C-alpha cells in the first residue's frame, strides 16, 4: 500500500466514496453530481484542501481530506480531517492508520500547523475508537451549523 496526494484521476472514486460515507455513517443521500463538483474543486485548488489517498497497486482503497482552519489563538492552522473513508474490503488492515501517519508527517513538515481536528458522527463508535487510538481526544466544544440553502 502506498499513501500519496490524490490527483484529478481519482476524482470519480473519491466522490463515490464520499457518497458511500454519507449513506453509511449518517444515512444521508448525497447528490453525486454536487459531490463530484466539490471533489474536483478541492483537487483544482489546494487552498481549499487536499486529499490523501491509500492505494493498493493502482486502486484507491482509502482517503482523507484535509481542510484548514486558522487559529489566531495559536497563530497556526488546524488541519481538519474530513471525508475519511476506507473501502469495506480494506478495513481493519491499517489503512486509516497509514493515512493519518502520512498526514501527520506532512503536518510536521509544515511550520504553521498547530494540530488536527475532526468531527465524527456521535453513534459511530467504531470510528471514535480508531481516532482515540491515534491520540484524538474529546474537546469541550460541540459543532453547530447553519446552512444557507
Residue 148 forms part of a structural domain: no
Q: Which residues contact 75 (CB under 8 A, 6 or more apart)?
A: 112, 114
Query: Nearest 10 degrees: CA dihedral of 112, 68, 44, 50?
Result: 80
Residue 40 forms part of a structural domain: yes
b/e map of 14-43 (b: 16 or more CB within 10 Å)? Answer: bbbbbbebbeebeeeebeeeebbebbeebb
Say yes or no to pLDDT of 69 above 90.
yes
Query: Helix, strand or coil for residue 31?
Result: coil
Is the pTM value of this prediction over 0.85? yes
CATH of the domain at 18: 3.40.630.30
Domain of residue 62, residue span: 2-133
pLDDT confidence of residue 94: 94
Per-residue model confidence as pLDDT tens digits over 98-110: 999 999 999 999 9
Residue 144 forms part of a structural domain: no
Residue 146 forms part of a structural domain: no
Residue 104 forms part of a structural domain: yes
Residue 16 forms part of a structural domain: yes
How many domains does the chain fold into? 1
Per-residue model confidence as pLDDT tens digits over 29-50: 999 999 999 999 999 999 999 9
Residue 10 forms part of a structural domain: yes
Residue 44 forms part of a structural domain: yes
Amino acid at each position: 500500500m502506498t499513501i500519496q496526494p490524490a490527483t484529478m484521476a481519482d476524482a470519480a472514486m473519491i466522490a463515490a466514496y464520499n457518497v458511500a460515507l454519507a449513506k453509511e455513517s449518517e444515512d444521508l443521500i448525497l447528490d453525486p453530481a454536487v459531490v463530484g463538483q466539490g471533489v474536483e474543486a478541492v483537487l483544482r485548488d489546494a487552498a481549499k484542501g487536499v486529499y490523501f489517498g491509500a492505494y493498493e497497486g493502482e486502486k484507491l482503497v482509502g482517503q482523507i481530506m484535509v481542510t484548514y482552519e486558522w487559529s489566531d489563538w495559536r497563530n497556526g492552522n488546524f488541519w481538519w480531517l474530513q471525508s475519511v473513508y476506507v473501502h469495506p474490503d480494506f478495513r481493519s488492515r491499517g489503512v486509516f492508520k497509514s493515512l493519518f501517519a502520512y498526514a501527520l508527517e506532512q503536518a510536521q513538515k509544515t511550520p504553521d500547523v498547530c494540530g488536527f481536528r475532526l468531527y465524527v458522527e456521535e453513534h459511530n463508535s467504531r470510528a471514535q475508537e480508531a481516532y482515540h487510538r491515534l491520540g484524538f481526544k474529546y474537546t469541550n466544544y460541540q459543532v453547530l451549523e447553519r446552512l444557507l440553502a
